[in-house]
Amino acid sequence: MHGTICENRTVPPAGAEGATDWRIHGVLDECAGAVRVKGWAHPLSAILTIIVVAGTLLASSGSVIAQTSTEKQAQCELSAIRDTRSSLAVQFIRSACNWLALNGDSLLNESSKGYYVCLVRQLSGVQADEAAAAIVSACRTSSPP
């Protein structure tokens, strides 16, 4: 049984010798516009493969960055929340760690960074919500967000 691929190129009958090889290189040669002149088809298929792999890697790099931010946030929270008993302090620590993980390395946010660093450092180990509120106020005064 015969069929056509691209233009004027027929598929060899099933079981024909070299049918698999023809399908792989024939589609690359005819459909991708490669011309089998002096060995150009194989370098073109290698270039196409490199382009596809590079595109895949670039597309997945966003998730790698997000994972790194998530890991930074988790590490910040683990180190700061340890002995903290105040729910208000924990809430502010989590928020500050999130901000630092996402924006801490940006020069655009340098003026706000001190506030969030102050929260993480000073709220760590706080036992009462009243103390946490006083620390938040002090951080806001010393390093306005």
Top pLDDT among 141 and 12 is at 141
**What confidence score (pLDDT) does residue 140 get?**
96
Comparing CA positions, the residue from 129, 140, 116 lying closest to residue 89 is 129
**What confidence score (pLDDT) does residue 51 get?**
72
Q: Which residue has the tokens 């706000």?
A: 112
- Is the separation of the CB atoms in 104 and 116 below 8 Å? yes
The identity of residue 97, as a single letter, is C
**What confidence score (pLDDT) does residue 30 get?**
53
- Give helix then strand counts, H and E, for the chain: 5, 2
Question: What are 38-81's pLDDT values in tens digits?
Answer: 555 566 666 766 776 666 555 555 544 556 888 999 999 999 99
Which two structure tokens, joined as six digits, stand for 24? Answer: 């792989």
- Is the separation of the CB atoms in 34 and 40 below 8 Å? yes
**What confidence score (pLDDT) does residue 111 get?**
87
- 1 has pLDDT over 60: no
pLDDT band at 112 (very low <50, low <70, confident <90, very high): very high
- Is the separation of the CB atoms in 35 and 41 below 8 Å? yes
